[in-house]
Amino acid sequence: MARYTGPKQKRARRFKEPIFGPSKALERKPYGPGEHGRSRRMKKSEYAIQLDEKQKARYTYGVLERQFRNLFKKANAKEGVTGENLMKYLEARLDNTIFRMGFARTRRQARQLVTHRHVIVNGKVVNIPSFSVRAGDVISIRPKSRNLEVVSDAIKNTSRRKYKWLEVDRKSLSGKFLHYPDMEDIPENINVQLIVELYSK
């Protein structure tokens, strides 16, 4: 299945959560999209609830189905709690790390910065959004890309929220990935246990 490129807020309204950031559309229409969005009150099956949670995680992080399944397999093979491992791997994606550092306003923007070769990891250009960042990696915007309007706009308008697993210097447009985040520090509202149950069927 190809990456979703349609209206973002339709997806946000489907899950009734601002999964792509603050949403005026969701505030105006806090119900599902479509002709029957306002009146749809069908009771969902257990499978449908689990599937919705998996899809919400996929759309939030902009991950394809096969990528997501492979990440789950990797998380399941690693010692520890599978759901927590999965969220840590999602957070360690390069595009997500750029977004968390505040160098892009959305994950889509961060993905574009990476694919257009504007991002450096440990002194080398990396153009793979799914690149897995490791503890101690230094991530920065290329010197010749630091005047990009997209980047300067993000620096001005994104919140200066600090994440415990990241060290960020907004002046030099660089930062360090200190360690994988703890589950309680990840701000996304995703019930990973439902995803584990779905893939365990």
Burial class (CB in 10 A: 0-12, 13-18, 19+), 4: middle
- The reply to whether 8-89+189-199 and 93-179 are identical in fold is no
- State the angle between helix axes of 192-199 and 46-61 in degrees (0 to 180), rounded to the nearest 10: 110
Residue 111 near residue 94, CB atoms below 8 Å: no
pLDDT > 60? residue 30: no
Please provide the average confidence, as pLDDT, over all residues in the chain: 87
pLDDT > 60? residue 102: yes
From the list 4, 5, 8, 40, the residue with the least C-alpha distance to 24 is: 8
At the second CATH level, the architecture of 8-89+189-199 is Orthogonal Bundle (1.10)
pLDDT of residue 160: 77
Cα–Cα distance measured from residue 17 to residue 52, given in angstroms and rounded to the nearest whole number: 12
Helix, strand or coil, per DSSP, at residue 174:
strand
Q: What is the pLDDT of residues 169-187, one digit of tens each?
A: 999 999 999 999 999 999 9
Tokens of 120: 């450096």
pTM of the model: 0.82
CATH 3.40.50.720 fits 93-179, yes or no: no
Who wins on pLDDT, 109 or 3?
109
pLDDT > 70? residue 163: yes
Q: What is the pLDDT of residues 145-156, one digit of tens each?
A: 999 999 999 998
Segments making up each domain of the chain, as ranges? 8-89+189-199, 93-179
Q: How far is CA 128 from CA 84, 94, 95, 115, 159, in A?
A: 23, 8, 8, 6, 25
Mean pLDDT to the nearest integer, 102-124: 95
